[in-house]
Amino acid sequence: MTVWLHIVAIVLLASLGGALWRVWRGRSQADRMMAAQLIGTSGVAVLIVLAALQDWTLLVVAFALALLAALAAVGFVTSQSPDGAGDPEEAHPPKGWRDRGRNG
Amino acid sequence: MADLATYLLTGLGLVFFIAGTVGLVRFPDQFSRLHALTKGDNLGLGFIALGVAFQAESWAQLAMLALIWVLALLAAGTVAQLVARAALTEQDKP
């Protein structure tokens, strides 16, 4: 049983590596954010498998990681639009709105 | 019997995770990637949590596993919507 769970953990890490490739190559920001979401979730899955293998208190760590992965994506979305709503229905933002924050 | 269930369920969860990652890498369009990713996400994590649940010794661990999966479900659902919105806004830019 432990051998199988080790194999599962290793293959999960391999799938995490595949998602990292998308982070590196993803043309748009949204692609990178999707991959970060998948990395967060496969991290949670690895932690769950390790909890079964070694110590059951790792489940709390997996819970915290699942929470943080969600908050990371929310942070990304709020940084995308000027008023932070990330709402496509609002009027098209004016030209050059993206870097108004950085160089005034 | 419990071990057999763990073998099968974690294997199934693994298949979904690999499918999600391959979908994320291979699909041409952003939204189809997002679809594959969220599918792999929820189901993969759900089956692995279910598989590990057969190894759990106490009720607290089962409750914790269920809690993690429900949080992952809610988080992945809403995050997919938000990221799709961000991707949508990006496409309309001149």
Whether B61 has its CB under 8 Å from any CB of chain A: the answer is yes
What digits encode the pLDDT tens for the residues A53-81?
888 888 999 999 989 988 888 888 777 76
Residue of B nearest to A66 (CA): B72
Could you tell me the residue range of the domain that residue B52 belongs to?
Answer: 2-92
Residues A93 and B33: their CA atoms lie apart, in Å, by 26
Q: Contacts of residue A48 in chain B, CB cutoff 8 Å?
A: 45, 48-49, 52, 65, 68
Those residues with Cβ within 8 angstroms of residue A30's Cβ, 6 or more apart along the chain or in another chain: B30, B34, B83, B84, B86, B87, B90
What digits encode the pLDDT tens for the residues A17-36?
888 888 888 777 788 888 88
pTM metric for this prediction? 0.82
ipTM for this prediction: 0.86
